[in-house]
Amino acid sequence: MTKKNKTLGEFIIENQRAFPYSTGELSKLINAIRLAAKVVNHEVNKAGLVDVLGSSGDINAQGEDQQKLDVLANEKFIQSLTNREIVCGIASEEEDDFVAINSHDNNNQNKYVVLFDPLDGSSNIDVNVSVGTIFSIYRRVTPIGTPVTIDDFLQPGRDQVAAGYVVYGTSTMLVYTTGYGVNGFTLNPAIGTFYLSHPNMQYPENGSIYSVNEGNYVHFPEGVKKYIKYCQMEEEDRPYTSRYIGSLVSDFHRNMIKGGIFLYPESSKAMNGKLRLLYECNPIAYLAEQAGGKASDGTRAILDIKPTELHQRVPFYCGSKKMVEKAEEFIENYK
Ligand code: P6P
């Protein structure tokens, strides 16, 4: 049984020992993310006090109004990853194209690329609802020492070497996996240290929470409508409880702890749904599978999808294995 109260730093070192031939770069990468998470946490927590609310006036790659904290979080993560001389390329929801990181000190020998949504759920910032950072890490596929190309970023989620999120909520947590289970660390803001609070997180195989924006119901495919009605029927262990925060990281985090399903379906308004494959669905799907859950686009496992564009969107059904399988059954039967 993993000892609680271990710090994230101790945990990383302990796991580093598990990979005797690793160069420690992945550990340095997680440490860089840890630092950026603490800086962003500080800014998010004081957002209501300092004039960082409201729009920066810029528009991001999604055509969405860019909140100042989005811009700040994006800058902090890029800065932290760049300063540590660890990655060779970065892709962000806030950047139209990927950013090549040329590290002169080690002659471009860095082998990891990082994709992230620096502040997901940012529309919730000025109403004091939890937001999050989501990150996804791959080894580059093009030769080390050459400039990164789009191919280094358009990898299937199954090839991630690590993924995780920071949830800036009632407490700030860093939850991540390197392919050996999911572990959650809670920040003690008084000393700026993350402590192992949720070792070996497991997705309950079943659950009684469903999370979907029911305001889009009329636009959903027939199978999704039928599944939502199934959740609401008074039968067996139902009706389920409806819980929807409108912040992916928060909805996912709650469902991973309590059991449940999150749905962001395609609709007549958005043929591929809203969530982005590379830096929202893939990392969340990797965590879900590592914790024993499931994530699909309604028919295919999210992690098996071969990406074609940096900011592409996919329908997203993620959570307790049996709940996702039941939703897929309805989607299949009413195609
Ligand atoms: P809607 C936040 O903007 C986000 O990208 C996810 O965090 C969240 O799950 C989803 O959009 C909410 O979208 O259309 O229900 O407001």
pLDDT tens, residue by residue, 247-302: 999 999 999 999 999 999 999 999 999 999 999 999 999 999 999 999 999 999 99
Shared-domain flag, residues 219 and 313: yes
234 and 131 share one domain: no
Are 165 and 282 in contact by the 8 Å Cβ rule? The answer is no
Q: Look up residue 234 and give its amino acid.
A: E
Same domain, residue pair 186 and 122: yes
Residue 261 lies in a domain: yes
Residue nearest to atom 16 of ligand 1 (CA): 246
- 174-208 pLDDT tens trace: 999 999 999 999 999 999 999 999 999 999 999 99
Which amino acid residue places its CA nearest to atom 10 of ligand 1?
Answer: 246
Q: How far apart are CA 259 and CA 253, in angstroms?
A: 10
Secondary structure class of 59 (helix, strand, coil): strand
Domain count, the chain: 2
Domain containing 245: what range? Answer: 209-333
- Structure tokens that stand for 108 in this block: 């471009």
Q: How large is the ipTM?
A: 0.98
Q: Strand pairing of 172-177 and 182-188?
A: antiparallel
CB 212 within 8 A of CB 221: no
Which of 94, 247, 311 most suits a substitution to test ligand 1, by most atoms within 8 Å of the C-beta? 247
Which stretches of the chain drop beneath a pLDDT of 50? none
Looking at the fold, whether 84 and 123 belong to one and the same domain comes out as yes
The pair phi, psi for residue 140, each rounded to 5°, is -65, 155
Residue nearest to atom 3 of ligand 1 (CA): 121
Nearest partner of 167 among 291, 251, 280, 293, judged by Cα: 251
State the CATH number of the domain containing residue 325: 3.40.190.80
Task: Report whether 210 contacts 264 (CB < 8 A).
Answer: no
| Rounded Cα distance, 263 and 302, in Å | 13
Domain membership of residue 295 (yes or no) is yes
Verify that 48 and 186 share a domain, yes or no. yes
Q: Are 284 and 318 in contact, with CB atoms under 8 Å apart?
A: yes
Asked if residues 88 and 113 have their Cβ atoms less than 8 Å apart, the reply is: yes
